[in-house]
Structure 1
Amino acid sequence: MRHDTPLDELPEDDRSGAEPPQPPQPPLLTRRVLTQTIALVTAALAIAAMVALPTGYVVRMPGPTFDTLDTTGTPVIEVTGAETFPSAGQLRFTTVSALGNRDAHVPVLRLVRAWIDPDEGVYPVEALFPAGTTTEETTQQSQAEMVTSQESATVAALRALGRTVNETLTAVATDPEMKAQGVVEVGDVLLALDGTPITSFEHLGEMLDAVVPGSAVTLRVERAGTPTDLEVVTSPAPAGSQVGADRSYLGVSVDRSFETDPVVTMHIDDVGGPSAGMMFALAIMDMLTPVDETGGQIIAGTGTMSTDGNVGPIGGITYKMRGASDDGADWFLVPSGNCVEAAGHVPDGMTAVEVRTLEGAYDAVVAIGEGRGESLPTCS
């Protein structure tokens, strides 16, 4: 007897002309979730790649501070050839730390954190590493500035105390547009001008200020060990100079070298720039005087120092004040040229004192140590 079987119940091989069965389709909601998941994963990967990408920016933040009077271990400042005196207080120089350079870029996520943090700042890499220079070149220049600042601070401090400072000016070049060209030679040591011994670069400038441009002067030099008198016709200030046109120039570039008594040596590693000069000078003066100028106070500050005792402005003043506050300083010596920038950013509990010269800064330290700090001019 014949039995007819429905086609869809036959084994697959026995179906003639029938479509193979299709796998069941996922519900519409499942497909939508899968699509959204893929989109989220893709976005997450894109964000992860973005935050890891290097950028052309650097982050600046408060750096460590250093007590210039610290004598534990290797002292920050070492004086040879004179008695020194301890201090119960601190004179801290301040720094700014930077994250990133031309060779190590900062990821976006770290920049976002710096934008949010009021104690940090974001800057184009060119602001700290000028175009056309390598990271190594910028670092070397910064270290050279630190060495120069130490020398200038030593000279300024010892001169302020009436200690021995012998300065030598040696010609290293002459201006081809001025009359000294062909008269003064490289290697000549400048000894006297019109019979008056030259005691410093600043002294030479003061004497030239009293000479009418175009006048002849007698410049005594030491050439190959022999004193020689040279007649040099002075020149007016070069075009574009910031000094007055009535100032006389020799047209000679000099190298300045110093011999001091006592001898001062600095021990600072991995810190560059010229901005610690003022605090170095104050520390030297404190160490060489019996009185404890600090009176046990923690005083921080910053500022360049010229050999004639002028305090110059620096960069990163707000970061330096914050770093000093974090390290316990209640007083901060601010160069006059940074006072406007500092105002409104002085940390709570800190007093920012305006200073212009080494003499003024020293007087401010003495006043703070004696409890008279509230009478000092401030930047806030």
Structure 2
Amino acid sequence: MPRRTATMLASTLMLIVLLCVGLAVPTEYSEMTPGPTVNTLGKHDGEPVLHISGHRTYPADGHLNMTTVRVTSPDYRLNLVSAMYGWLAHDNKVVPHDTLFPEGQTEEESSQENAEEFSQSQESAKVAALRELDIPVESWVVVSTVVKDTPAEGVLHAGDVIRAVDGTPVKEPGDVSKLVTRHEPGEKVVFTVVPAKEQAAAEREGREVTGTEDLTITTAKSGDGGKPRAIVGIAAGTDHTFPFSVDIKLADVGGPSAGLMFALGIYDKLTPGSLTGGAFVAGTGTIDDAGEVGPIGGISMKTVGARAKGAKYFLTPEKNCATAAEDIPDGLTLVRVGDLDDALDALEDIREGRTGELPRCPKG
């Protein structure tokens, strides 16, 4: 066999071996790609995304699109070839696996966490939108979760309303831990609660809660490696009663990042006229009950996905602005927002044609 032919054959075989190794060897990386974008003012799978009953609503045109990111599953690792392709591709992003999924987290646990965050984002979006419209929303502190094998197990239950701790009224979830940690581990703490069943019955029947219970729990010592402190083993959260029904119908979506766009969609449907003036606006951002907008992950994938669907403006959490501005899709304007008022002001500028006044994310 001629030397040149042998060399070419050897090189080809080496490339094949390297390719096979690249396809077979897993890496410690995951991949993010643009996910679906859904108009909160429209329909998804034939159903309106926002269902509002018991209050007057108004027609709304244009787009207020929430955006998503697709990620590989917690149990999947990119092979070397896929990782290299992702690093080179513009519409993909390869990131360390542990930045998306904490060590040891299963796909089931990840899905559950995303579902809980999505549900909470819907609640906060409703509260923020209604309060922006001066529509009263009743709120109270509740037991969100009870940790297994802790003092609270079997005494407190998810959904119990916490009225007071040691006789001191609680107004925010953080008040609960502050009052519990005043104790030394092993001391007793008294929770004044409305049982979840009583609270649910009162809401269902439209009546006042008839009574509370005082429950005594012996605190335990924290075991998280930090400074020892008294705990009972619960996470406190906030629940709400709304004066009318606001339902968000959107399956197969998780995480908290659609909060801002849900709030804007609800606000638009409850007010005359059009927030967008017919423009195609997309965006992202968490939102809390007070309307503060927080940062999210995968911002560059969301801007790419939004522009591909036709968005011209993208409402961007101010803490994501620097990252988003590193690679702005052609034809897309990144609008910086810090809270719901900022977003409403920006939408007013868009519909009134004052786009030169928009607070933009500057290019890096």
Which bin holds the TM-score, normalised by the shorter protein?
Answer: 0.7 to 0.9
Aligned partner of 1:21 in structure 2 is none
Contact 2:74 2:105 in 1 (8 A): no
Query: Are residues 1:369 and 2:360 paired?
Result: no
Output the amino acid matched with 1:186. L
What residue ranges of structure 2 are gaps of 5+ in the alignment? Answer: 184-189, 199-209, 216-225, 228-232
Q: What secondary structure sits across from 2:22 in the alignment?
A: helix
Output the amino acid matched with 1:304. T
For 2:33 and 2:288, how far apart are their aligned partners in 1?
A: 27
Aligned partner of 2:312 in structure 1 is 330
Output the amino acid matched with 2:156. V
Q: What secondary structure sits across from 2:138 in the alignment?
A: strand
TM-score normalized by the length of structure 2: 0.75
Rate the CA distance shift 1:130–1:252 in 2: closer, same or farther, 3 A. closer
Contact 2:30 2:76 in 1 (8 A): no
Aligned pair partner of 2:79 in 107, 110, 127: 107
Alignment of 1:128-207 (within 5 A): 128-171=100-143, 186=156, 189-191=161-163, 201=172
Aligned pair partner of 2:327 in 337, 340, 345: 345
What is the CA distance between 1:252 and its match in structure 2? 8.3
Query: Are residues 1:46 and 2:17 paired?
Result: yes
Q: What secondary structure sits across from 1:63 in the alignment?
A: strand
For 1:375 and 1:222, how far apart are their aligned partners in 2?
A: 50
Rate the CA distance shift 1:55–1:292 in 2: closer, same or farther, 3 A. same
Q: What secondary structure sits across from 2:239 in the alignment?
A: strand
Rate the CA distance shift 1:253–1:50 in 2: closer, same or farther, 3 A. closer
Aligned partner of 1:306 in structure 2 is 288
For 2:161 and 2:357, how far apart are their aligned partners in 1?
A: 47
With 118-127 and 329-338 compared, the bigger mean Cα shift is at 118-127
| Deviations 1:330-359, CA, capped at 9 Å, x for gaps | 111111111222223222222111111112
RMSD of aligned Cα (Å):
3.6
What is the CA distance between 1:229 and its match in structure 2? 9.0
Rate the CA distance shift 1:157–1:109 in 2: closer, same or farther, 3 A. same
Rate the CA distance shift 1:265–1:52 in 2: closer, same or farther, 3 A. same
Aligned partner of 1:55 in structure 2 is 26
Aligned pair partner of 1:226 in 205, 211, 235: 211
Query: Are residues 1:267 and 2:249 paired?
Result: yes
What is the CA distance between 1:37 and its match in structure 2? 5.8
For 1:173 and 1:58, how far apart are their aligned partners in 2?
A: 30
Aligned partner of 2:223 in structure 1 is none
What is the CA distance between 1:192 and its match in structure 2? 7.5
TM-score normalized by the length of structure 1: 0.72
Q: What secondary structure sits across from 1:144 in the alignment?
A: helix
